[in-house]
Chain A
Amino acid sequence: EVQLVESGGGLVQPGGSLRLSCAASGFTFSNYDMHWVRQATGKGLEWVSTIGTTGDTYYPGSVKGRFTISRENAKNSLYLQMNNLRAGDTAVYYCARATPSNAVDLWGQGTMVTVSS
């Protein structure tokens, strides 16, 4: 079955760190760019980061310098290292497979990250 399964979410204090993981299966993971997209409760979708097939990375200004996306093709896995977390980072984080035009054609079920003291 073609799927993405995230893990690693949880409750963390402001200023803390968390590492999210995403396990891909059912497709050739190394052939795809991958995104992380987040959604705060009751809010819209927000792009968090992208990693290309060659390891090139992209971030919006809101997380640049705090978040690091990486991939391990041998393990069909995507990661998001999140440091210096803020209350505004509280959201469901989705792992997502990108099409050549950067649309998302496959989403994970999401993992909840809560930043609170």
Chain B
Amino acid sequence: QSALTQPPSASGSPGQSVTISCIGTSSDVGGYNYVSWYQQHPGKVPKVMIYEVSKRPSGVPARFSGSKSGNTASLTVSGLQAEDEADYYCSSYAGSNNFVLFGGGTKLTVL
């Protein structure tokens, strides 16, 4: 199966907003509202930031938001803070054959 497509890098200055895209197909991102986003700091375990396209788990700042249009999902981080610098991965349910797909990851740099 093919991984979801993410840009390898993104950046923004403190206080700015940045959007990371996640491109899939009608068999995964476009076919289900089961997209999730994970934040991973170096040497740490991933942490879910968004699930079911746009829902935020308890404790995740409202600065993090998710959306989807067609086969592309997006994670927007508003009001960038230094601690937001990390790798971000999208994931989607992909049906009973492929089940779970991850994106290749995006390294977010806060300038």
Complex alpha-carbon distance, A68 and B98, angstroms:
16
The listed residue with most B CB atoms (<10 A of its CB), out of A37, A45, A109, is A45
CB within 8 Å of A: which of B33-73? 33-34, 36, 38, 45-48, 51-52, 57
Residues of chain B within 8 A (CB-CB) of A26 are none
* A84 CA to B34 CA, complexed, in Å: 33
Q: Does B103 contact A (CB under 8 A)?
A: yes
Whether B101 contacts A47 by the Cβ 8 Å rule is: yes
- Whether A44 touches B103, Cβ cut-off 8 Å, given contacts A99-B51, A104-B46, A110-B45, is yes
Bound form: Cα–Cα A94–B3 in Å: 18
Q: Looking at the assembled complex, report how far the CB atom of B20 sits from the nearest CB atom of chain A, in whole angstroms.
A: 14
27 A-B pairs whose Cβ atoms sit less than 8 Å apart in the complex: A35-B100, A37-B102, A44-B3, A44-B105, A45-B46, A45-B105, A46-B102, A47-B91, A47-B101, A47-B102, A50-B100, A58-B99, A60-B1, A60-B98, A61-B1, A94-B45, A101-B51, A102-B99, A102-B100, A103-B36, A103-B91, A104-B36, A104-B46, A105-B48, A105-B51, A105-B57, A108-B45
Given contacts A94-B45, A94-B46, A101-B33, 8 further A-B contacts (CB under 8 A): A47-B99, A60-B98, A99-B51, A101-B34, A104-B46, A104-B91, A105-B48, A105-B51
Interface residues of A (CB under 8 A from B): 35, 37, 44-47, 50, 58, 60-61, 94, 99, 101-105, 107-110
Q: Which residues of B contact A (CB under 8 A)?
A: 1, 3, 33-34, 36, 38, 45-48, 51-52, 57, 89, 91, 93, 96, 98-105
